[in-house]
Structure 1
Amino acid sequence: MSIVVNGIVAPGFEPVAQAFEQAFEGRPAMGAALHVRQHGETIINLWAGVADARDNRAWTERTPSVVFSCTKGLVSILAARLVQEGRLDYAAPVARYWPEFAMAGKDRVTVGQALAHQAGLSAPRLDLTEDDIVDWDRVVAILAAQEPLWPLGTGYAYHAITHGWVAGEIIRRVTGQSVGAYFRDLVTAPLGADAWIGLPEAQAATCAHLAVSPPLIQLWADEAAKPAPNWPYKAMTLGSALPADLVTEDGGFNSPRIRAAEIPGAGGVASARALATMWSATVAPTHGVRLLEDTTIAQATQTQSQGVSVFGGEPPFSRWGFGFQLDSEARRYLGDGCFGHDGAGGQVGFADPQRRIGFGFVTNWMMGPEDQRATRIIDALRPLV
């Protein structure tokens, strides 16, 4: 292979490096990075490829990229921390913290149900625009006023992007800070992590440029052809706010305007090192920081939603706790008890409380259901830890 892999691997973990290198086969426009910590210390730190195929800018150790739904996992850390501090209760109605949310029959929706994709707000009934989704107050007001898409207690459906606004507004009402500001103060500043919910202008030029593989383009073209109302499709596009693939050459999450906005369901930006460091800090002291206690993790990772959604679908199905994606057939981590979240196109971040591991894999070459890159890396790591 012509790919040059940079970084370090602790002795004994060479099979993981081999799996990382193999992820680049046949993908000359791909860039990616992998970082793994155990007991707070780095055991794997690798990067390779191009951050932007348009000018052949190389991927570096600190290259950040949009991590899509990995952001939901990071926001769920924030919520769990507030529960740990006694400032938020999973069993309480959302309206206790955000009174306007009680509109349209949502007065009984709990914080836990909202985090577990059960609130009935997986897609907006209105057709949103890009102007709408970069305006925090407008989009949360629309969701607060919306009647749920299904009766409370009858099931769940993945809140692909709306999840972040609902969770983020709960956090804002409790803390008095935007979700991006609270994330910075609680997580990234203490850890020195290259991660943001709302990318600062000073970092805009460092971000990787995203490209979409043909199978993923075809997948969403097929989805778009289904008859309306197609709520899972609208959960991704929000109307005309985003392309179904989430990116175009200069639009969607390749747009500086979108990246700068706080869109905590999908818009987080992080390096692989940052992703692994943040997840490590949930289960082990990392740079002197421990974000969550073991008892908090046990509570937050109880299964809340799994199986077929209210809109149907085909297996394999994911499994969720209170916002955290849990080990399942759809996303295998290192074993039962692991928690985190993957993201569109191939991103993966998670923690393993038993092995005290934090894991981060980030790539700008977005793939669909055929993607096995992170899965094979995790498979290679599993027998070594």
Structure 2
Amino acid sequence: MADAFERSFTELGETGAAFSVYHKGDLVVDLWGGVADPDTGRRWQADTLQLIFSGTKGLATACVLLLVERGVLDLDASAARYWPEFAAAGKGAVTVGDILSHQSRLPGVRQPVTDDDLLDHDIMAKLLAEQPPETDARAGFIYHALTWGWLVDELVRRVDGRTVGAFFADEFARPLELDVWIGLPDDQHDRASTMLAAPGFLLDAQPASNDPLAVLTHNPLVVPDSPDLWNSPKFRRAGLAAVGAFATARSMARFYACLAAGGSLDGVRVLQASTVELGRRERRQGISPLWGSPMAYGAGFELATAAQVFGPAADAFGHAGAGGSRHGAWPDRQVAFSYAMNEARAEYPDRRPRGLLTALHEAVADRPAGGRPSVA
């Protein structure tokens, strides 16, 4: 694993990154290196925090699943049962499960918004509650890059009173001792790396045509000055439930190690095993109508597809982050992993996580399930 990680730097030009693996509840790989801030030369440290973009969705998913377990939310119930205003403009039949699996037909916000609007949850939730669902047939299965977070966060707030960030901190981060923040406190900002956009990333992220749906789904955080926003104190504080978490790879791997073990780790149970399985149960799979790539979702988690975003394991689940990060688990092998980096790339498939996860799979593939992998 160390050799594979080193190749990311020597052969693939990695800037700064960390990669961690848990096996059977033990931390067996913990690697970091490179530069956290190219402007100052600050090196990546063991406790460097990294923006993981949509890796945040896996954390928010766990929050919803815990509320389902407690009987507060029902995946098959109308979202309007908990958020009455959401029924406006013909959305009364949209279920909580539809929202989690990117089937709410709200892949973008129609009204023009500013950066400050994007970081104001109340504004964005109100706009989405008022907005009609898209009638384009393709909209029923398009990745809701940002809107997913405002929808999920509002559901959590309506039934619990806490934000997703506060809920995760109380119910998962503190009990499991995770260095994970959805809404980074000011006194932690100096630990965060500087997020970079590789040449071509911002250009490739623009809508490729005048297709109205493609334009609508364009992530408004990916514009020419995006890195300025990503690295700003106001973005770090905002705690966007879709794309705003900061974490160490070590802690993200620990989070998924808990899920891979059925929701309990080191004597601390945060979810029932049946609840984890509910989250992994496939709710939708197919080919993205805009990207042409395979997509499969449970109740919020991304699932294994032919694209092998989470490595070769057929039972893989987790969530990837824009630009390359990968966070997930292979339950049959009791393996959990996280790759976090500070240079976002448009390369698909990204050779950095692909190489790491391929090497990891080779390390455990020939060992009986439950055996200890030969990594350290």
TM-score when scaled to structure 1? 0.88
Q: Percent identity?
A: 36
Return the letter of the residue paired with 1:298.
E
Say if 1:212 and 1:145 are closer, same or farther in 2 by CA, change over 3 A: same
Q: How does 1:52-63 map to 2 (within 5 A)?
A: 52-63=37-48
Does 2:360 align with 1:377?
Answer: no
Alignment match, 1:25: 10
Alignment match, 1:316: 293
Deviates more, 1:152-161 or 1:108-117: 152-161
Alignment match, 1:41: 26
Between the aligned partners of 2:312 and 2:70, the Cα distance in structure 1 is 29
Does 2:154 align with 1:177?
Answer: no
Say if 1:147 and 1:109 are closer, same or farther in 2 by CA, change over 3 A: same
Aligned match for 1:368, one of 342, 346, 350: 346
Q: How does 1:140-179 map to 2 (within 5 A)?
A: 140-150=125-135, 155-179=140-164
Q: CA deviation at 1:224?
A: 4.0
Aligned match for 1:237, one of 215, 219, 244: 219
| Helix, strand or coil at the partner of 1:237 | coil
Alignment match, 2:371: none
Q: Is the 8 A contact 2:105 2:139 kept in 1?
A: no
Q: How does 1:245-264 map to 2 (within 5 A)?
A: 247-248=226-227, 251-264=228-241
Q: Is the 8 A contact 1:19 1:380 kept in 2?
A: yes
Q: CA deviation at 1:77?
A: 1.2
Q: How does 1:1-385 map to 2 (within 5 A)?
A: 16-25=1-10, 30-150=15-135, 155-220=140-205, 223-224=206-207, 226-227=209-210, 229=212, 231-238=213-220, 242-244=221-223, 247-248=226-227, 251-284=228-261, 285-309=264-288, 312-330=289-307, 331-370=309-348, 371-385=350-364
Between the aligned partners of 1:257 and 1:228, the Cα distance in structure 2 is 32
Return the letter of the residue paired with 1:337.
D
Q: Is the 8 A contact 1:123 1:232 kept in 2?
A: no
Q: CA deviation at 1:217?
A: 3.2
Q: Is the 8 A contact 1:65 1:208 kept in 2?
A: yes
Between the aligned partners of 1:154 and 1:237, the Cα distance in structure 2 is 15
Alignment match, 1:11: none
Q: Is the 8 A contact 1:31 1:50 kept in 2?
A: yes
Q: Is the 8 A contact 1:236 1:246 kept in 2?
A: no
Q: Is the 8 A contact 1:283 1:293 kept in 2?
A: no
Between the aligned partners of 2:306 and 2:293, the Cα distance in structure 1 is 6
Between the aligned partners of 1:264 and 1:236, the Cα distance in structure 2 is 18
Q: Is the 8 A contact 2:310 2:317 kept in 1?
A: no
Between the aligned partners of 2:163 and 2:204, the Cα distance in structure 1 is 34
Q: Is the 8 A contact 2:125 2:150 kept in 1?
A: yes
Between the aligned partners of 2:312 and 2:28, the Cα distance in structure 1 is 16
| Structure 2 residue ranges without an equivalent (≥5) | 365-376
Q: CA deviation at 1:332?
A: 3.5
Deviates more, 1:333-342 or 1:111-120: 333-342
Q: Is the 8 A contact 2:196 2:343 kept in 1?
A: yes
Between the aligned partners of 2:141 and 2:291, the Cα distance in structure 1 is 15
- How many pairs does the alignment contain? 360
Q: Is the 8 A contact 1:212 1:245 kept in 2?
A: no
Q: CA deviation at 1:245?
A: 6.5
**Shift >6 Å, 4+ stretches:** 151-154
1:164-221 per-residue CA deviation (whole Å, 9 max, x = no partner) reads: 111111111121111110010011111221111111111111100011111323313x
1:111-151 per-residue CA deviation (whole Å, 9 max, x = no partner) reads: 00011101011100111111211211111011111101137
Q: Is the 8 A contact 2:287 2:293 kept in 1?
A: no
Q: CA deviation at 1:290?
A: 3.1
Between the aligned partners of 2:173 and 2:17, the Cα distance in structure 1 is 21
Q: Is the 8 A contact 1:161 1:236 kept in 2?
A: no
Say if 1:176 and 1:246 are closer, same or farther in 2 by CA, change over 3 A: farther
Alignment RMSD, CA only?
2.0
Say if 1:381 and 1:245 are closer, same or farther in 2 by CA, change over 3 A: farther
Return the letter of the residue paired with 1:227.
N
